[in-house]
A = this chain, B = another copy of it.
Amino acid sequence: MTPPLRGIVPPILTPLSDPGTLDVAGLEKLVERLLAGGVHGIFALGTTGEGPSLSQRLRREMVAHTLRLVNGRVPVLVGITDTSLEDSVSLAKFAADAGAYSAVHAAPPYFPLSQGELWEFVRKLNAALPLPLFLYNMPGLTKVTFEMETLRRARDLPNLIGVKDSSGDMNYFHKLLGVARERPDWSVLIGPEEMTPEAVLFGAHGGINGGANLHPRLYVSLYEAAVAQNLPEIRRLHAEVMRLAGAVYTVSPHRSALICGLKCALSLLGVCQDVPADPFRPFDAAQREEMRARLKMLGLLG
């Protein structure tokens, strides 16, 4: 039995030079930044990575370059969520050939399934994959939750090795930890960075936290403090995460504020270009200046 993946696994941004072209130099800088920050894995093509927004072609380029640049230093998880199962599996095969650690799939994002249908889908997906699978609970975007009854059935799938939960519902997360207890090889990771320390204190294995793109060291330190059960340190670092999130994700009032905010921030730091994938658009000049001021206030920009 492989031990579960533990730690901070940033959902890496997809640096672009224009909406259809990978910013390979930016990706290299971002990968090195994350690894220098001590992250324990990298999750490519997640929600923060705008995976579903990229063309099938661009997803493959992102996978290939990420695996080449990471070069085995940490495991690379690859998001394969798509409205088409065939295209999901095809991407997973590409990722497996490139050396990915696992695939990650949310509930099918267009047609809402019943739990029975979702279970059948998970079983079929899992059987078709050439690499291990994480389920990704993201009801805010997919409209469907992986209910406990479905997760209990999914414990029978040996090739399913973990769950990422981005519901933001800690009651759900505590129940998920209970279900996962019978699969000690499962890695249970939390999405919202504001809840990573409490998740880890109660048994989670880590976090897939968007903010780690911007400040990987902070999230790694917070994870380590949680593992060490060092409560004063947890509270201090958690307050810092809350401050960062409150500043970086709120420059725009729209749902795109998180991803566009991170891309804008990283371009201000000189890491990659400020080009979101369609259908998003970069911040305008005023928002960019506001972000600059906030990064200075946070001490992230000189």
* A residues neighboring B (CB under 8 Å): 19-20, 50, 52-58, 82-87, 90, 108-114, 116-118, 120-121, 124, 141, 143, 168-171, 174-175, 178, 192, 194-195, 198, 201-203, 229, 231, 234-235, 238-239, 242, 246, 253-256, 277-281
- Whether B198 pairs with A201 at a CB distance below 8 angstroms is yes
Provide the residues of chain B in CB contact with A231, threshold 8 Å.
Answer: 201, 229
- Whether A114 pairs with B254 at a CB distance below 8 angstroms is yes
Provide the residues of chain B in CB contact with A203, threshold 8 Å.
Answer: 235
Provide the residues of chain B in CB contact with A53, threshold 8 Å.
Answer: 83-85, 108, 110-111
For this chain, the copies found in one complex come to 4
**Chain B: CB-nearest residue to A122:** B279
- Specify which of B57, B58, B202, B278 is in contact with A198 (CB 8 Å cutoff): B202
The 7 listed contacts between A and B (C-beta, < 8 Å) are: A53-B110, A55-B86, A85-B278, A85-B279, A109-B109, A174-B195, A198-B198
- Whether B278 pairs with A86 at a CB distance below 8 angstroms is yes
- Specify which of B118, B234, B281 is in contact with A120 (CB 8 Å cutoff): B281
- Specify which of B83, B84, B87, B277 is in contact with A109 (CB 8 Å cutoff): B83
**Given the known A-B contacts A52-B83, A84-B52, A201-B201, are A254 and B113 also in contact in the complex, defined by CB atoms under 8 Å?**
yes
